[in-house]
Every structure is written in structure tokens, then in C-alpha cells.
Structure 1
Amino acid sequence: MAKIIPFKAVRPTQDKVGLVTCRNYEDYSAAELAAWLNFNPYSFLHIINPAYANVQSISWDKRFKGVALKYKDFKNENIFIQEEEAVFYLYEIQTKTQSFTGIIAGTSVEDYQANRIKKHEDTLQYRVEMFKDYLHQTRFNTEPVLITYPDSNELNTWIQIKKKNRPLNQFSTTNKEKHTLWRIDTQNDIDWLEDHFETIPNLYIADGHHRSASAELLFEQDKDLNNPNLNYFMSFLIPESNVKIYEFNRIIRDLNGFSKEDFLEKIAENFEIISKEQELWKPQNKGEFGMYLDGIFYTLKYKKEIDNTSIKQQLDAQILYDTVLQPILEIGDLRNDERIAYISGKQSIISIKEKVDEGEFAVGFMLFPSNIEEIKAFADNDLIMPPKSTYIEPKFRSGLVVYEL
């Protein structure tokens, strides 16, 4: 059974919410970051980058303490307010092409430990430790874990009814997204939602494996403080059918000493190679790959029979690794090898062409995106997908809802 709880969230005042919230700070270029910090005094970027001018010259400990102090300043200036009672939220994100609606709630560390909240990605211990230290110092989190639940007609109907109510917040952003937030605060609704999720045996992490692992680590470290908020971490729960899964395409800096002709000959051992000339071609099915090499796009069709008895061997990212990246290009560590980089499938493949044409990279590979069933199969069998197998939306706005620890 999945346990979710309402919580006393901290959030921007209604008149400032559109000014406060921001994308993940890593999404901003240096120029964008400077512009937002210089011209928008309400941006949450001021909290997560409290010393942006010299951020590289201060220790993580000092930076985390600066984040905590700046957050207190925002609260003291009444830019943020706290709910008087524990509530749930409905949150809708409308992009140019898609709409996402989910529930903001606290999810259980105990469920995570018991594998009722299932994982499909590995984590880097140093990142888990760092974010745990961040949470310990700042005592708040505004980046929920994206979690999927099985589609439910009953829950979908309930959500559609609640969305007819007057929203708590509604605002648009400069990237032309529309954001709407509803408060779920009546006891009947809270009880109904909690009871409904207790009928769900398992939830699945779509995005945020490091955040959930850090929450568990913080719970183990600070559980003697008897702080009930540590027993949960903030999540954005969304139906399986409503997530958007993109691939991560691969670009490689060199051909590992092979000439173009020899490289194509090695590729041909496992793939049928079809030249697409200048056509911006992307894979249309599983088992197909795109390749851009020396000004030409290619279709690569896997010639061998896929091992349907192995969940891992059916994954396109694994096939590419086993047939090209590791044996031919000798790239073993997909996380740390500096010869490989990744571009999400959300970006145009023109970006791959440009990087190869500029000479920084020698070849690019385009993959067909995974689906939610593949992700669940890995999670259900306690398997780990290769690094950078998926890029998943929606992405949550930092500073919209804050979970205090």
C-alpha cells in the first residue's frame, strides 16, 4: 500500500508566484542566470544561488548556509507564506504541446525503503551525500520526486472535478508555459485521496532518484530529532499515461582511431546501414538507430534477434552499448568517460548535426525513446537502466511549493 500525506507547505504569495518560481538552476546559461538575478529580486534563484558572483570560490558548507539564510529572508519579507493546515495540491503544467496534471504530496521514506516506491536508475553516492548535506543545512526542499501511479478512472474523474474549482495560483512563464495550482484542503478530500493511494501496491520513480535517496539518508542521520517531516519527502504524483519520455541521444568525440570506412565496416557486423544523405532522420521503431557521421545521416537496423528473455538486452540503449559504444569505441563508463556526451530527445537532431559539423564530436547516435512499461519492468525486477536512458517530463518549477524539514 502506498502512503501519502498532506503537509504544511510554504509557497509564494499569490501576487509574486510568477516572479518567484524558476526552472532548475542548472538549466540556465551564465548569461540567463545573471540577467534573472540582476533584474528580478523575487526570483527563487537568489535563494539557491546566494553568492552567484563568487559561487565557485566558496565551500559547499558556506553555500548551503547562505541558501538557508536567504530562504529565511524571503520568509521574513513575506515573499513566502506557510499553510496553516496540512494540505495536498493539484498542479497542472500546460506546454505548447502537452498538459500534465499531478498531485503534490508527501511520500513515505518507509515505502521507499520497503521498495513499495520502486527505482530504475542507479545513483552516485557523492551526489546523494551532497544533497543530503544540503537538506540538513537548509531544512527545506522545493524539488519533488516525480512519481508515477497506475491510471485510475476513479482518480482521473476526481481530479477533473477538482480542477473546475477556482485555482489558488495561475500564471504563465517566459517559456510560454501555463501553471495552475489548486489547494486540496477539505478533510473529506484529504481522507479520500489518502484512502485511494492505500489501494495502490506500488509507485514508480520517474525522475528524482538522487533526491529520494538523499531523503532516506537524511532520515537515517537525523531520525533521533523526532521530526515527523523527515519520515516523508515531497513528490509530484502523476498517472503513468501522462508522463512524457524522451530518449537521450549520444555524441562521441572520436572514432577510437578508426577511419570512417573501417568504422562503418565494424558497424555493419551488427546493423544494416542505410544512407539517408541529408535527411534529418530519427528512429521510428525499437531496434532502429540513427547515426550522423561525416555530413551524412544513416539508419542502423539491428540485424540480430533480440533476446526477449532478457529485460536488459531488449533495451535499445543497452543494444547500442553492447554492439558499438563498448566493443568498437571502447567507451566503458557511460557516466564518466569524457569522450561521450548526451543530448535529450527533446532537442532537435539539428543540434547533433551542428556539434559534429563543428568538429567537437565525430559521430552522433539517435535512439528510439523507451516507454513506461520498460521502466516498470526494470524496476519490478530490481534492475538498473543504463545511465542517460531517459529524459522525462514534466519538470517542476523550483520555489512553487516548499517542503520544510
Structure 2
Amino acid sequence: MAVIKPFDAVRPRGDVAHRVAALPYDVYNRQEALEEVEKEPLSFLSIDRAETQFPMDVNPYDQKVYEKARNSLRTMINKGVFIKEGQSCYYIYELTMNGRSQTGLVGCAAIDDYLQDVIKKHEKTREDKEIDRINHVDICDAQTGPIFLAYRSQKAINEAVKATKNNTPLYDFTAPDGVRHQVWKIDEPNTINTIYHEFKKVESVYIADGHHRTASAVKVGLKRRSEHPSYTGEEEFNFFLSVLFPHDQLMILDYNRVVKDLNGQSKEEFLQKTAKSFIVEEIGEEPYKPMEKGTFGMYLEGVWYKLTAKEEICSVDPVDGLDVALLQNHLLTPVLDIKDIRTDKRIDFVGGIRGLKELEKRANSDMKLAFAMFPTSIDELFNVSDAGLLMPPKSTWFEPKLRSGLFIHELS
């Protein structure tokens, strides 16, 4: 059963929270991160991406970069930009985008739940990306980016969250991208007790976004355990910062694909081979957005097509039945010879937040072909995780993104 505990947070003062809050560290390349920090010196990217404080020829993974992150965090605490709560609390974090809200609970999940598969994964991690965050967390002695977790909605937790939202929020601001962020504090002992024990009844929690941050937090915790062999399990390094959302409030957007070429084939040859596994319908110049599972939009040479997976390639397998797997197994690999989308330079990915016009733009410039996907559902994510399987890369795109810097979990 899930252990989600309250924690003594470090968080920004109310009057500067909107300036501190930043999109996740991995949303930006180095130049983009630098530009954000130059625009807003209080941006948490100055800590999450501390290489922004050095010349461009400094290796972003140099030891001194992580030490700069630690020192910057301590300086901002000492100057009062960040305050220490002084007591263990939960928080409610609500994000509203385009009139639609999702409300999560901020707390700390247990690394033992991750190790024992109470917290379930659906994505493979890369060691190099883990090492970066391991160093960042370990040297800063704090977790600075929350993990995006999901759970099957529970009435008692929903009611506790709803009641707390009647209080005045700690933070209420709209970011430059139009997303509204509201935060409330839960410090009432009975409410804390209710939430803690209701989560103990939850059988499984799922990583929605943040597999690398989770794996890194767990490895730092295990490292600290080895350094403190008399640990009790209650130390802060045994837990990691998380925001947990009920499944029925989450929206997964499409994660679309663009391809460099037709693998040496003519348009006619390509369409003929595609038609072996998919029903191909020409739509015209109007962008086609798939509206149901098993359908795909395809853009080629100024024309949109609707692809519908033929019955014989559909599958009830949790992974093989995913639309991203159908496209991979029956078109990208056999027709276009793209076998490993993690490493093949002929394919790129476009988050659904950017729209179909971005697919047209890419296919008309640096790429040749675009595929618009029907979004993976949260139930499909749960099914894959419950089966102990992994999704193909780039299967899910979550919006809106959690901001970093609003909550910091110190490890000692």
C-alpha cells in the first residue's frame, strides 16, 4: 500500500512565487535555459540548470555546476526568497489550462514503494540522464523537481482536497504561457491523518511523468542508506517529492511523429506498402486529427490522409495494442526501416500541444512525412504498468507541466 507523507517544505515567498516557478529542467536546451534565466534571474532554472551561471564552454555536468546549484539554493534561502515551512504539511497544487483544471496533492512518496513496485513504471530510463539528476539531488541535498504521479481516484482524498480549496491559496498566479497555478496548504492534523491513511489503502501509484527523476531520487536514497547503515527508514532521504493526481483529472495529449524520408521509395510505393496494414483514405489539405483509437493522421507532400489499422494487426496485448506500437510495428519498421526510435536520426517527435500545423511545418521543411496520433489513455498507461511492461518511447505527452521551484524537499 502507498506511503505518501507530509513534509517540511522549502518554498518561495508568496510575492515571488510567480517569478521563481519554472518549467521542468529537461524542457529546455542550454541556450533556451540561459535566455529564461537572463529574462528572470529568480527563475528556478538558475538552480535546476546551474550551467546557466557559467560560460558556454563549461561542461554542464562538471562538479562545479552542481556545487553552484547548491550554493545558489542556499543563498536564496538565506536571502529569504525561499522560506522553510517549519512543520510537516501536504499541499494542493491545481493547474488550469484552457479552462480545464487538474488538482494534485503534494507530498513525499517512499523509495521502498518504488523498489517494491507499489509505484509502477512504464518507461525505460537512460543511465546518463539519471547520473545528472543523481549528482544534482545529492550535492544540493534536496529534491527540486516534483515527480508527476497518478492514482485511481479515491472519494475520501477528493473530499479532503475539495474542502481545503475553500481556504485562501498560498499562491495564485498565471504563468506567461497562460497556465494558472494555485497552491493551498494542508496543515490541519485531522486532514493530514485522513489523507495519509487513505493513501495507505491505495494499492498502486503510477509514474505519469518523471521516470528519470524518480530513479535518481531512489538511487540517492540508497546511497544515503549505505552511508548511514543504522538508518531507521524515517529519514527524509527515504522519500521523494511528488505531486499525485487522481486518474480522472488527467489528460494525455498526442505525441506525434515526423520522418525524414520515405526510405528510398516513391510516394506511390510507400502508400501501396502502407495499405497492406492500414486502410488509407485521402482527406485533402485540411488537417486530419484522429478521433478514435486505431486511427492516424498522415501528412505527405501537402496532402492529409486518414489511416485506419486493419483488424488483423490490432491486438489486445497491453503494449502491442497501443497505437504507437501499431504504427511502429506495422509501418515505421517494415515500411520505413526505422527500428529504434530512441537512436534513429530519421525520426523526431512533436508534442501535441504544438498542434497539427507544426506537423505540416516540419514535413514541409526539414522532414518529409508526419503522423498525427490518437492520444494514449490513462487506462492504457495503467494496464501496461500493471502488467510489468514498458511502453514504446514517446508514448505520452502530459500537459500542463508541473512547475519546479514551488516545493523543495530537503534530504537532511
TM-score by length of 2: 0.94
For residues 321-360 of structure 1, the aligned pairs below 5 Å read 321-358=328-365, 360=366
Structure 1 residues 27 and 56: CA distance shift in structure 2, 3 A: farther
C-alpha distance in 2 between matches for 1:205 and 1:82: 27
Greater CA drift, 260-269 or 381-390: 260-269
In structure 2, how many angstroms separate the alpha carbons of the residues matched to 1:118 and 1:318? 20
Letter of the 2:47 partner, please give it.
I
- Compute the displacement of 1:81 (Å): 0.8
1:295 aligned residue (290, 294, 302):
302
Name the residue aligned to 2:40.
Answer: 40
Aligned to 2:211: 209
Aligned residue number for residue 313 of structure 1: 320
Cα distance in 2 between the residues matched to 1:29 and 1:202: 34
Map 1:36-185 to 2 at 5 A: 36-52=36-52, 54-58=55-59, 60=61, 61-185=63-187
The match for 1:198 is 200
Q: Which moved more, 1:20-29 or 1:279-288?
A: 20-29
Contact 1:122 1:384 in 2 (8 A): yes
Does 1:304 pair with 2:306? Answer: no
C-alpha contact (below 8 Å) 2:296/2:308 kept by paired residues = yes
* Structure 1 gaps, min length 5: none
Q: What does residue 385 of structure 2 align with?
A: 379
The change in CA–CA distance for 1:59 and 1:391 in structure 2 (over 3 A counts) is closer
1:34 Cα deviation (Å)?
4.5
Q: Partner letter of residue 275 of structure 1?
A: E
Change (3 A) 1:228 1:215: same
Amino acid across the alignment from 1:263: F
Letter in 2 for 1:116: V
Q: Note the C-alpha offset of 1:308.
A: 4.1
Secondary structure class of the residue paired with 2:402? coil
TM-align CA RMSD: 1.7
Per mean C-alpha deviation after superposition, the further-off stretch among 233-242 and 43-52 is 43-52
The answer to whether the 8 A contact 2:7-2:87 is kept is yes
CA displacement at 1:278 relative to structure 2: 0.1
The 1-side partners of 2:126 and 2:352 are apart by 23
How many residue pairs get matched? 404
Between stretches 220-229 and 235-244, larger displacement belongs to: 220-229
Q: In structure 2, what is the Cα distance between the partners aligned to 1:183 and 1:365? A: 43
Contact 1:49 1:55 (C-alpha < 8 Å) held by counterparts:
no
213 and 38 in structure 1: CA distance in 2 versus 1, 3 angstrom threshold: closer
Distance 1:372 1:88 in 2: 25
Contact 2:92–2:185, Cα closer than 8 Å, also in 1 = yes
Provide the residue aligned with 1:232 in structure 2: 239
For residue 273 of structure 1, what is the aligned residue in structure 2? 280
- Decide whether aligned partners of structure 1 residues 381 and 163 sit closer, same or farther in structure 2, where only a CA change above 3 A counts: same
Cα deviation code 1:306-344 (max 9, x no counterpart): 554422221111111111111111111111111110001
**Residue of structure 1 equivalent to 2:408:** 402
> Equivalent residue of 1:233, what SS?
strand
Deviations 1:2-57 (A, max 9, x none): 11111111001111111111112443577764554334332222223334252442
Aligned-partner Cα distance in 2 for 1:309–1:316 = 12
Q: Quote the Cα distance in structure 2 between the aligned partners of 1:46 and 1:127.
A: 19
Residues 198-229 of structure 1 deviation map (CA, whole Å, 9 limit, x = unaligned)? 11111111111111111121122221334811
The corresponding residue for 1:245 is 252
Looking at structure 1, the residues matched to 83 and 358 of structure 2 have their Cα atoms a distance apart, in angstroms, of 42
Q: Deviation per CA, 1:45-88: give whole Å up to 9, x if none.
A: 22233342524423512211111111111111111111111111
Give the TM-score of the pair, scaled to structure 1. Answer: 0.95
Query: Cα deviations across residues 267-290 of structure 1 (Å, max 9, x unaligned)?
Result: 111111111110110111111111
SS in 2 for 1:234: strand
CA contact (8 A) 1:243 1:394 kept: no
Range moving further from structure 2, 373-382 or 222-231: 222-231
Contact kept in structure 2, 1:55 and 1:63, CA below 8 Å? no
Distance 1:29 1:122 in 2: 22
| Distance across 1 between alignment mates of 2:273 and 2:313 | 19
Post-superposition Cα deviations, 1:132-177, rounded to whole Å, max 9, x if no partner, equal 1221112112211111111122222221111001112222221222
Please say which of residues 86-95 and 46-55 is displaced more in the overlay. 46-55
Report the Cα distance in structure 2 between the residues aligned to 1:308 and 1:297, rounded to whole angstroms: 26
Q: Give the Cα separation in 1 of the matches to 2:78 and 2:159.
A: 40
Q: Secondary structure at the match of 1:181?
A: strand
Q: Which moved more, 1:99-108 or 1:25-34?
A: 25-34
Local SS of the residue matching 2:218: helix
- What is the one-letter code of the residue matched to 1:387? P
- Indicate the percent of aligned positions where both proteins have the same amino acid: 34
The whole-number CA distance in structure 2 between the counterparts of 1:319 and 1:43 is 41
The SS at the match of 1:99 is strand
2: CA distance, partners of 1:26 / 1:112: 22
CA distance in 1, matches of 2:153, 2:14: 32
The question of whether the paired residues in 1 share the 8 Å contact of 2:277 and 2:313 is answered with: no
Aligned-partner Cα distance in 2 for 1:246–1:29: 22
- Bigger drift between 182-191 and 57-66 goes to 57-66
After superposition, what is the alpha-carbon deviation per residue over 1:166-191, rounded to whole angstroms, capped at 9, x for unaligned? 11222222122221111111221111
